[in-house]
Amino acid sequence: MVPGVAFFAAINGVVLYVATPFIRKCVKSQDDPELCAKYTKKSCESLVKLTFYIILCSWTHYILKETSWLPWYVGGSTGSFDALNVNMPFTETPLYAYECFKMYLALYVY
């Protein structure tokens, strides 16, 4: 989970450094510096989470699309959701699936 938190912290730092000047110009309370800072911080945090979710969703789909875990109607190649319950609780997980789960968990730990 430590790499997930480090990855999220890196995304947080990059997005805050790049996006803060642009977002500060777009917030609605330009006259009040405290409100401007508050809205800028809140917008930047939302942008960081959006960026993190987009990266993780893309990575998870890339990992699961060739497995039997992801059905064809969700973008996978074959299979159905029934494959998740085969041989429970000893279901064979795809390579890097646990890393994806840890990255999603890191968002809530950070």
Q: What is the pLDDT of residue 16?
A: 85
Give the integer Cα–Cα distance in Å for 71 and 24. Answer: 43
Q: Could you give the percent of the chain with pLDDT greater than 70?
A: 86
For residues 23 and 43, is the Cβ–Cβ distance under 8 A? Answer: yes
pLDDT digits (tens, 9 = 90+) for 31-45: 888 998 899 889 988
Q: Which residue has the higher pLDDT, 23 or 82?
A: 23
Torsion of Cα atoms, 48 then 21 then 13 then 50, to 10°:
10
Question: Does the pTM of the predicted model rise above 0.75?
Answer: no
Q: What are the phi and psi torsion angles at 78 (to 5°)? A: -145, -175
Q: Is the pLDDT of residue 14 over 70?
A: yes
pLDDT digits (tens, 9 = 90+) for 96-107: 887 888 878 877
Q: What is the pLDDT of residue 100?
A: 80
Q: Which residues contact 2 (CB under 8 A, 6 or more apart)?
A: none
